[in-house]
Amino acid sequence: MTEQRRKETLETSETLPFIEEPFAISDKAEKSVAENETEGADDGKDTYCGFWIFKGPSMQRLATEQMYVILYGLAGCVMAMTFAYFNATITTLEKRYKIPTKVSGIISVGNDISTMLTAAMLGYYAGHRHRPRWMGIGFLTMVAFCLLTSSLHFLYGAGEDALKLTREFGQVNETLATQERDKKLCQPTAGGCVQEELGQWVPQAFLFAAQLISGVGQALFYTLGIAYMDDNASKSRTPAMLSMSTFLRMLGPVIGYSLAALCLRLYIEPTLEPLIGRDDPRWLGAWWLGWLVLAGMTLVSAILLFMFPKELPSSRKRRLQLKQTERRQSLPLNERSFGDMMQTVRKLTKNKVYVYNTMASILYFFGYMAYWIFTPKYIETQYRQSAAMATMATGTVALGFSAAGVLISGYAISKYKPSARAMAAWNAIVDFVTVAGILCYVAIGCEGSDRLNSLTTLSTGNSCSASCHCDYVHYAPVCSPDNITFISACHAGCSKRTQDALGRTIYTGCLCLGSTSLPPEAESQFAVDGTCPVDCFNEFLIFVAVMCFLKLVGASSKSTNLLIALRCMPPEQKTFALGLGSMVAALLSFIPSPVFFGWLIDNYCLVWGKTCSNKGNCWLYDTKSLRYALNLSAAFFILLGGFLNIAVWYHVKDLKIFDDEESAKDSLKDTEVEMKTIDSSPQEN
């Protein structure tokens, strides 16, 4: 009777939220308490797979470290696909809704704003709840993000500008189609500017709101997911698990960019026949189509995350074999307060390795963010490639090298187990190599593309284009025999329109082509519809080669950087520290960087898609000046990050990445414990 009462007393003590150190119980009683904690208090339900009707004994064999790595990596792949798809279609969105690059940069940081506001708080309070289910909730917000973004097309349609460039437009209203074509010509009797469709602020606000929603899911997934992986695996396995999950996640941008390239090859209204080719800068692809595919894939990922247990069976067995010190060191959820959180913040600010490593990452992200978001746009403007080709090169080709870099680094870390100093040194070397590669970008220019910045933008006072009535007419470029592109036939001084035997539109009587060898009054002064052909393919291939090399080298530092971040803090601070780091990175890097580089790109715009009084998207840039300004600015920030990584190298001399006592025997014991747990799992939940 006395023994039974003592057991009941111990079980009751486990229901208390916290046991002070002076009242610590004996080792034997502590072991009994630990068993009750997982087997008596919750009956081991924290290690059960599934939820609702999606559960059963057959699922219990899936509650393994390997299965979580695969699931986490694939879910991260889907999330990365959504952000890559947005970056790949951003130039199409700018053209469709007349959005300046600076504004599109602000839109793209919406997810980082919400990540900044929620990451630390969610990491602190949700870090000790059912983390996989919280990650599933985050993925449901990603589903909403995909559906909200695609719904713009169904609300606003393809747009009048896109419909005017289809064959069906002329068949429906030939008179209106003729008027539209005549707007490109010089009309001495007309007065005033021709009003174009105004840029709409509602779609811009809609896109920004969708990005805000996605940031909550991003914060939950990355903050909780990495901590869950590290807590449920032995330290010797963590590098390989991180590398494998990172590799799977990095397939996301590859697939996302490929999906974008496929969708952008279709016209924005696939049922209509366009009159222009994909190489024409006015081409608008079916940007909205991929979001429907991504919404379905994200929903499936959310359901799979919901099925994972709160704690892996193998992790529970390891925890029971160790002393139950974590229970005393970490406050339970119902005793957590804002003051405790601020005390943890103060502790982290005194951790020099954590601070320097975080700041080095922030500077690297600030500089490299320009390429993550604007690389397709950079390729389109610098090397005159189509949107589909730009997204394919950025995603499928370049990111494949990123995935290879992650796998190679993960294998090297797992096999050779380098010290913390070696890892920090490698991070610094990667930063300096990246700076050298970016300086190569400056030298990889295309003369034909740079020559387009001499495009004639004559003022209204010039007799040649005075009948255009304003500086900014509808952008409809034409090419002269001297391979000079003009904004429109009107700016080339053309007064007539005809068609040749191939069906191409030819503008004649073009008085502004004074650079040709023929006299201005000659009838042969003509211009062909569309921009002049520019051959930048060789330069484009060189750029892609350098980009692939930088992707390979840069990806090799992802695992080393994350391992230093995970090991430089106590286990009980891990989830919150990751959330705090995400918040600070969003505040200082992810949010201001796209806005800054968007503003920088807009500063070198030559031709704005304007109405008489409103600015829309940019159609043509001063490519040479833009190339220098963009790349040198990015290199400067990454260089500063490299110097901070040297500071990390100095302070991590005593940091231990791997446990010395872990051996092959421990790994076999973990496997044996895991198999016993699966065999002893209850048949029903």
- Asked if 364 and 641 touch (Cβ cutoff 8 Å), the reply is yes
| pLDDT in the model for residue 101 | 82
| pLDDT in the model for residue 56 | 66
Residue 607 has pLDDT above 50, yes or no: yes
pLDDT per residue as tens digits for the range 492-529: 778 778 777 666 778 887 877 755 444 545 555 788 88
Of 593, 544, 542, nearest in space to 399 by CA: 544
Arithmetic mean of pLDDT, 411-437: 91
Separation of alpha carbons 658 and 420, rounded Å: 9
Higher pLDDT, 579 or 645: 645
Separation of alpha carbons 561 and 444, rounded Å: 30
Separation of alpha carbons 554 and 550, rounded Å: 6
- Asked if 406 and 559 touch (Cβ cutoff 8 Å), the reply is yes
Arithmetic mean of pLDDT, 552-568: 86
| pLDDT in the model for residue 51 | 67
Confidence of residue 19 (pLDDT cuts 50, 70, 90): very low
CB atoms within 10 A of CB 660: 6
Residues belonging to the chain: 685
Question: Range with the lowest mean pLDDT among 315-319, 398-402, 483-487?
Answer: 315-319
| pLDDT in the model for residue 432 | 96
Residue 262 exposed, middle or buried by CB count within 10 Å (0-12, 13-18, 19+)? middle
DSSP secondary structure of 326-349: HHHHS--GGG--HHHHHHHHHHHH
Q: What is the pTM of this model?
A: 0.67
Tokens of 242: 């991180």
Residue 316 has pLDDT above 70, yes or no: no
Which domains does the chain possess? Answer: 61-170+211-319+339-446+536-665 (1.20.1250.20)
Contacts 24+ apart (CB under 8 A), 165-168: 165/274, 165/275, 165/276, 165/282, 166/267, 166/269, 166/272, 166/273, 166/274, 166/275, 167/272, 167/273, 167/274, 167/275, 168/272, 168/273
Question: Range with the lowest mean pLDDT among 34-38, 84-88, 553-557?
Answer: 34-38
Burial 106-122 (b: 16+ CB within 10 A, else e): bbbbbbbbbbbbbbbbb
Of 373, 317, 465, nearest in space to 84 by CA: 373
Of 559, 568, 588, 565, nearest in space to 578 by CA: 565
Question: Range with the lowest mean pLDDT among 148-152, 334-338, 485-489?
Answer: 334-338
Confidence of residue 300 (pLDDT cuts 50, 70, 90): very high
Residue 195 has pLDDT above 70, yes or no: no
| pLDDT in the model for residue 533 | 78
Of 246, 241, 229, nearest in space to 403 by CA: 246
Burial 318-354 (b: 16+ CB within 10 A, else e): bbeeeebeebeebeeeeebeeeebeebeeebeebebb
Of 531, 515, 540, nearest in space to 452 by CA: 531
Residue 191 has pLDDT above 70, yes or no: no
Cα 345 from chain centroid (whole Å): 28
pLDDT per residue as tens digits for the range 523-553: 557 888 877 778 888 999 999 999 999 989 9
The CA angle 115-117-121, to the nearest 5 degrees, is 95
- Asked if 588 and 366 touch (Cβ cutoff 8 Å), the reply is yes
| pLDDT in the model for residue 91 | 85
Could you give the percent of the chain with pLDDT greater than 90? 18
